[in-house]
């Protein structure tokens, strides 16, 4: 099995595990808190995928057409992707603290957000190892 396929499988498993934890965390918040949560994040759900889509499209275009610079592009785009995820999660964390969401929910939510980040990092490392031949 190739390293990039292993990386994709790990990333996919991390996303599924994250969703399971996130869904389980919902039992810690009341219906009023759920409404507050949804209201607080209505705009971010609309616009948060735009930077991610731009990063991914640029990655695939440059990865395909600038093969001479694949290693550099890998580092740049995965750095951008990881930075985007970290910044978005920090913003969400501070927003959740501001609306005073249940502490147990917040803890579970943070864990559920950290797991895909670890999956992305593992995927990036495995893809880099394959690309660089380390």
pLDDT for residue 21:
93
Q: pTM, whole model, 2 decimals? A: 0.75
Alpha carbons 85 and 121: distance in angstroms, whole number? 11
Residue 44 has a pLDDT of: 78
What is the chain written as a DSSP string? --HHHHHHHHHHHHHHHHHHHHHHHGGGS-HHHHHHHHHHTHHHHHHTHHHHHHHHHHHHHHHHH-GGGHHHHHHHHHHHHHHHHHHHHHHHHHHHHHTT--HHHHHHHHHHHHHHHHHHHHHHHHHHHHHHT-
Instruction: Encode the chain (134 residues) as per-residue pLDDT tens digits.
Output: 787 788 889 988 999 999 999 889 888 888 888 888 788 777 777 788 888 888 888 887 887 787 787 778 878 888 888 898 899 889 888 888 888 888 888 899 889 999 998 998 898 888 878 777 76
pLDDT score at 20: 93
pLDDT at 111 (0 to 100): 92
Name the phi and psi angles at 8, rounded to 5. -65, -40
The helix/strand count (H/E) of the chain reads as 6, 0
């Amino acid at each position: 099995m190739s390293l990039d396929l292993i990386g994709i499988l790990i990333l996919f498993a991390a996303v599924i595990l994250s969703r399971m934890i996130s869904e389980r965390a919902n039992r810690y918040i009341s219906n009023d808190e759920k409404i507050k949560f949804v209201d607080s994040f209505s705009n971010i759900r609309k616009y948060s995928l735009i930077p991610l889509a731009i990063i991914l499209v640029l990655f695939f275009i440059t990865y395909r057409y600038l093969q001479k610079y694949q290693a550099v592009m890998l580092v740049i785009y995965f750095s951008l992707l990881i930075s985007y995820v970290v910044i978005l999660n920090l913003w969400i964390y501070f927003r959740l603290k501001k609306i005073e969401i249940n502490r147990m929910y917040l803890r579970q939510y943070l864990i559920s957000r950290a797991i895909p980040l670890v999956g992305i990092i593992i995927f990036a490392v495995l893809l880099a190892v394959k690309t660089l031949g380390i």
